[in-house]
Amino acid sequence: MESIYNYTEEQLKEYWISKGEKGFRASQTIEWLYRHQIHSFDEITNMKQTAIEYLKNDFSLESLKCVTHQKSKDGTQKFLFELKDGNLIETVLMHQEYGYSVCVTTEVGCNMDCQFCASGMKKKLRNLETSEIVLQVLMVSRLAEVRVSHVVIMGIGEPFDNYENVIRFMKIINHPLGLEIGARHITVSTCGLVPKIMEYAEFDLQVNLAISLHAPNNTLRNQIMPINKAYPIEEVIKAIKYYIDKTNRRVTIEYILLKGINDSIACADELATLLHGLNVYVNLIPYNEVVGKPYARSTKEDMVAFFDWLKKRRINVQLRKEQGSDIDAACGQLRSKHMN
């Protein structure tokens, strides 16, 4: 049976109409699933029995099985979930000054093969279904007993390589009668799948877009991010421009600082030139070292010098602080030890 958490309001509306019911049943359904968070369709009190029977016959309300739940000293929590087919995925909850933020996984494994990243060490087995992404947010909020205010689509996987399901996920968690996570509180991050960035420019929710750039030129980017061979840096920049023109929204540029690779002042200067005049915000990320990968974190001095250089060149920039490193929940470290 199909999970009901796969369905956006539009899809639920179609479903109800196909059953000869009124379209407003769709928003009622959303309320029961995400506000009341029912465990059985019998808990629904404002539908007639025949409607409830339709739901029972057609949909599953099954959630994810939580295998482990770890808490870091800084308050970050990591969850390992088991999917129906036995695959394991990880989800992270972070406590920020502004609220609780969840980092969701979008694929089992990842095919992008970024050289510094732990996720790519396991090839993609499959896309996550919309419901499997939605349920990560729902389950984390239940298990940690918090109201989730922010979502970042930055766990394992390339969200734009599972585009349709990720778009549906965003619509569902944003729904005002459901989890009501503000579009501006949702961020999707891509390694630069150009055609999808262009397509995403037409998406009508005001969701934030982040681009994992990590290098200021093709030579360097080819070396650490193989996807750059398919979509070189000038095309990524062109797509970002197109997106900004269409949406009028600022784009986040993610840049991991790798010692001796992309952290020189020459790189900072080249990056500043590349981004000059674009409505972007650079997020400098301290690298989390991965066992089996030849990369190291830049020194504090080099990170600060890189930051200062961008500032001097009038680029909007921040140096991100890390969380959850003691439970392997830090950015880019998600990789289940249970699978080995």
Residues designated catalytic: 90, 331
**Nearest residue by C-beta to ligand SAH?**
332
Helices (H), the chain: 9-18, 25-30, 49-58, 130-144, 163-174, 194-200, 218-224, 227-230, 233-247, 265-275, 300-312
Nearer to ligand SAH, 268 or 331 (CB): 331
The burial of 198, by beta-carbon neighbours within 10 Å (0-12 exposed, 13-18 middle, 19 or more buried), is given as middle
Closest CA to 191 of 155, 219, 228: 228
Min dist. Cβ of residue 114 to ligand SAH (A): 6
Min dist. Cβ of residue 252 to ligand SAH (A): 10
Give SS3 for 149.
strand
Nearer to ligand SAH, 72 or 189 (CB): 189
The burial of 167, by beta-carbon neighbours within 10 Å (0-12 exposed, 13-18 middle, 19 or more buried), is given as buried
Min dist. Cβ of residue 269 to ligand SAH (A): 22
Helix (H) or strand (E) holding 188: strand 186-190
Contacts of 104 (CB under 8 A, 6+ apart): 91, 133, 136, 137, 151, 152, 153, 154, 155, 169
What are the beta bridge partners of residue 90?
A: 80
Contacts of 55 (CB under 8 A, 6+ apart): 4, 29, 41, 44
* C-beta separation of 117 from 335 below 8 A: no
Min dist. Cβ of residue 22 to ligand SAH (A): 40
Nearer to ligand SAH, 16 or 287 (CB): 287
Question: Pairing between strand 99-103 and 148-153?
Answer: parallel
* C-beta separation of 43 from 36 below 8 A: yes
Nearer to ligand SAH, 9 or 289 (CB): 289
What are the beta bridge partners of residue 37?
A: none
Nearer to ligand SAH, 285 or 317 (CB): 285
Residues found near ligand SAH in the complex (CB under 6 A):
112, 114, 116-117, 154, 158, 189-191, 212, 254, 256, 285, 287-288, 290, 331-333
Min dist. Cβ of residue 214 to ligand SAH (A): 6
Tokens encoding 82: 């088991």
Nearer to ligand SAH, 190 or 247 (CB): 190
Tokens encoding 204: 């009508």
What are the beta bridge partners of residue 96?
A: 99
Nearer to ligand SAH, 29 or 298 (CB): 298
Min dist. Cβ of residue 26 to ligand SAH (A): 31
Min dist. Cβ of residue 329 to ligand SAH (A): 12
Q: What's the longest Cα–Cα distance across the chain?
A: 69
How many Å apart are CA 122 and CA 113, to the nearest integer?
9
